[in-house]
Structure 1
Amino acid sequence: MITRREYLKLSAAAGVALAISPKRLLADDSPRALVTRAIPGTSEQLPVVGLGSSASFARVAGEGDAARIRDILQTLVREGGRVFDTAPGYGASEEVAGRVAQEAGIADRLFWATKLNVAGRGGGQADPAAARAQLDASFARIGKSPIDLVQVHNLGDVATQLAILREARAAGRVRYIGLTTTFEQQYAELERHMREEDIDFIGVDYAVDNRTMEERIFPLAQERGIGVLAYAPFGRRRLWELVEGRTLPDWAAEHDIATWGQFFLKFVASHPAVTVATPSTSQPRNLVDNLGAATGRMPDAAVRRRMVEYIEALG
């Protein structure tokens, strides 16, 4: 059993970063199909691990490295992934990814989850004309109609912007709509909207060391039939720093966990309320590793408790 960093160093040295396909770094080294979960209230299945486009992905897009963006999007599709989460607020991510996906002929093979927000998260009002213009810009960038999912980013003026998304859904321009936040001070507002509004998805932060969503938001999502995109499944950098220099516990192999990244992602994706975990990366080899968490045996409730206890003991 090796750490993610050790594996990636070996891969880079050997020049085989992508040669692991389709084995996806499984603990028993055998290929398997990606585990999927249905969007609540539908028969549509999505792989439980996708790709986010904030952080390093946004940085690479901002640098104009279209070749790297093409490589990672093509890797996502080749490895059986579908869900790509982006936003106009993620720098150049949506624009560059949309252009690259269209040029590569894979735009229609992705489940595009983007966002709408011209109000910010400070309680400001959204100009309806500006919001509609931003949505139109997303259509032009992505080159796909309908767009699969558009969510109001960080609960920015929900009354105005969610109404625009409802119109777009009713017109068949958008398939699913929702709300996102990763800010604790907005959780109560999110919960209120989940009770009052007709939404299909939420996007929230969730990790093995950040389980606040389990208390009220996830049970409510299950009760209301709302899908969940799980953001920041690595705790941004917290979890990587916590396990720096440590090897996986021996029992991880019993659940087809080969790296720490898969440990963190399997915990997130195995929660029954989570539809898809969307870790961000700009490295195709990391993406392949991440998708390995959507293969093989998934943790049950007892294993999830064991994972939490193990991580808490490291702290």
Structure 2
Amino acid sequence: MPENTRNLRDLQVSPLGLGCMGMSFAYGPGDRNESLATLNQAIDDGVTLLDTADMYGNGENERLLAEVLRTRRDEVRIATKFGIVMDENGQVTGIDASPAYAARSVDASLRRLGVDTIDLYYLHRVDSVTPIEETVAAMAEMVRAGKVRHLGLSEASATTLRRANAVHPISAVQTEWSIFSRDIEAEVLPAARELGIGVVPYSPLGRGLLTGAAAAAHDLADDDFRRTLPRWDAANLDANLALVQRIRAIADQVGGTPGQVALGWLLAQGTDVVPIPGTKRRSYLTENLGAVDISLSAEQLAELSSLTPAGDRYRDMGRVKGESVSA
């Protein structure tokens, strides 16, 4: 990866981060050794933003990162999240953004990560009970205590961003954004830019759909949560894979892969955009990082922007009672 950097407000990071969720959660069984090798290679290749959350594997993902952070803490910026509550069986039971829960959560994440300070601390989902002002005020106390450096929100509306930023500067909003998921562009993206908040797209490869890697839902592991997503339904999958072929045609024109084109499209949306493609394998990591060298013409960007997938993304705003929650 080139030496250039991007800014999430005043947090400087590499153009692409690494989403670590799949190493411990949601995408079938993981391989601890390969995950650790992927984390180390990412840092070797210039990735400086590692993204995790306390709910990924019920804390296991943070513990996994701790193994790398013991010797490489100064080379990376760590982002983690709190607010989605899980039981001991790994089932989501609700959202809690209360100040008391926030205080317990940050201390628990610091212990699991084995660090003194979290670089970017997100509220994972907005709590419908706790006013966002109360949550952000509690998070601001963490900054003053030296436990956290920068604050973020995940899957927040434009109104919530404005209310939160009025309490304490918000450095980043994390939300799903890809060629196939464009709803951020109507209100959230303009608000973020109005306020100087960086944008961290998760699932920038459409949860793998934009790469064309899985030809059908039956190719997925039994516990892969994508089996629950509308865009992977049999009724929608063929239509979406046909769109991927159009991405592949552009990839052939620029000498890249469909995944690199999908990431290149996002990187071209602005220097305040830092996608965090997730992977647990070194081979995909290498491919993803090659996206920074992809150059797309105005015509190619326009064609990619015109693609409309079949099926909605699920309501990814804090699903509870055993339903899937990701990123």
Question: What is the TM-score of this pair, normalised by structure 2?
Answer: 0.72
Shift of 1:243: 3.8
Distance 1:187 1:74 in 2: 34
Shift of 1:58: 1.9
SS in 2 for 1:264: helix
Shift of 1:249: 4.9
1:58-137 matches, cutoff 5 A: 58-59=24-25, 65-91=31-57, 92-103=59-70, 105-117=71-83, 126-137=97-108
Preserved CA contact (<8 Å) 1:219 1:273: no
1:135-284 matches, cutoff 5 A: 135-156=106-127, 157=130, 158-181=132-155, 187=157, 190-193=160-163, 196-197=166-167, 198-239=169-210, 240=212, 242-243=240-241, 246=245, 249=248, 251-252=250-251, 255=254, 258-272=256-270, 274-284=272-282
Preserved CA contact (<8 Å) 2:266 2:273: no
Distance 2:26 2:96 in 1: 31
Unaligned runs of 5+ in 2: 87-91, 213-236, 312-327
Preserved CA contact (<8 Å) 1:87 1:93: no
Q: Which amino acid aligns with 1:305?
A: A
Check 1:167–1:284 CA distance in 2 against 1; reply closer, same or farther (3 A cut).
same
Q: Which amino acid aligns with 1:58?
A: S
SS in 2 for 1:172: coil
Q: Which moved more, 1:132-141 or 1:265-274?
A: 265-274
Paired residues, what number? 273
Distance 1:313 1:178 in 2: 29
Check 1:131–1:259 CA distance in 2 against 1; reply closer, same or farther (3 A cut).
same
Shift of 1:60: 9.2
1:53 lines up with 2:5 in the alignment:
no
Q: Which amino acid aligns with 2:292?
A: A
SS in 2 for 1:176: strand
| Aligned match of 2:2 | 33
Q: Which amino acid aligns with 2:163?
A: H
SS in 2 for 1:279: coil
Distance 2:189 2:147 in 1: 28
Check 1:118–1:214 CA distance in 2 against 1; reply closer, same or farther (3 A cut).
closer
Deviations 1:275-298 (A, max 9, x none): 31011111111011111112353x
Identity of aligned residues (%): 27
Shift of 1:59: 3.7
Deviations 1:223-260 (A, max 9, x none): 110011111112224433634784855554665x5111
Preserved CA contact (<8 Å) 1:36 1:45: yes
Unaligned runs of 5+ in 1: 1-31
Deviations 1:2-52 (A, max 9, x none): xxxxxxxxxxxxxxxxxxxxxxxxxxxxxx615432233x3x532221111
Distance 2:17 2:84 in 1: 26
- Quote the RMSD (CA, aligned, Å): 3.2
SS in 2 for 1:262: helix
